[in-house]
Structure 1
Amino acid sequence: MSLALQVIDHNVNQTTELIHEKMQIWIHYELFTWRWWLGVFFSIVPWAVWYVLTRRNSMRDRLLFVGFMVSLIAVALDVLGDQYGLWHYRFNVVPIIPTYFPWDLTLMPITVMFFLQITPNANPLLKSVVFALASSLIGEPVFYWMDIYNPIHWKFAYSIPIQIAIFLIAYYFCKTRSKFAPYE
Structure 2
Amino acid sequence: MQNEKYLKKTAELYDKISSIHHDKYQLWVEQALFTWQWWLSVLLTVLPWVLWIIFRRKESAFRVLLSGFFVTIISSWLDFIGISLGTWHYNYDVLPLLPSFSPWDFSTLPVLAMFMIQIKPKVNPFLKGALYGVISAFIGEPFFSWLDLYTPEQWKPYYSFPVFVAIYLGAHWLSERKGFEKVAE
Question: TM (normalized to structure 1)?
Answer: 0.95
Equivalent residue letter for 1:141:
P
Query: Map of 1:63-82 to 2, 5 A cutoff?
Result: 63-82=64-83
CA contact 1:136–1:159 (8 Å) conserved in 2:
yes
Deviation at 1:96, TM superposition (A): 2.0
Residues in 2 aligned to 1:97 and 1:145: alpha-carbon distance in whole angstroms: 22
Equivalent residue letter for 2:175:
C
**Count of aligned residue pairs for this structure pair:** 179
Instruction: Tell me the residue number matched to 1:8.
Output: 10
Residues in 2 aligned to 1:48 and 1:178: alpha-carbon distance in whole angstroms: 29
The secondary structure found in structure 1 opposite 2:126 is helix
- Aligned-residue RMSD, C-alpha: 1.1
Instruction: Tell me the residue number matched to 1:24.
Output: 26
Instruction: Tell me the residue number matched to 2:41.
Output: 39
Residues in 2 aligned to 1:164 and 1:46: alpha-carbon distance in whole angstroms: 20
Instruction: Tell me the residue number matched to 2:158.
Output: 157
Instruction: Tell me the residue number matched to 2:101.
Output: 100
Fraction of identical pairs, as percent:
37
Deviation at 1:177, TM superposition (A): 4.2
Instruction: Tell me the residue number matched to 1:118.
Output: 119
Residues in 1 aligned to 2:66 and 2:12: alpha-carbon distance in whole angstroms: 40
Instruction: Tell me the residue number matched to 1:60.
Output: 61
The secondary structure found in structure 2 opposite 1:176 is coil
CA contact 1:22–1:96 (8 Å) conserved in 2:
no
The secondary structure found in structure 1 opposite 2:58 is coil
Question: TM (normalized to structure 2)?
Answer: 0.94
Runs of 4+ in structure 1 deviating by more than 3 angstroms, as ranges, are none
Residues in 2 aligned to 1:118 and 1:141: alpha-carbon distance in whole angstroms: 25
Between 1:171-180 and 1:140-149, the stretch displaced more is 171-180
Cα distance per residue 1:14-60 (max 9 Å; x no partner): 11101100100100111000010011101111101111101221x00
Distance 1:177-1:84 versus aligned 2 partners, 3 A rule: farther
Residues in 2 aligned to 1:52 and 1:148: alpha-carbon distance in whole angstroms: 27
Gaps spanning 5+ residues in structure 2: where? none
Deviation at 1:73, TM superposition (A): 0.3
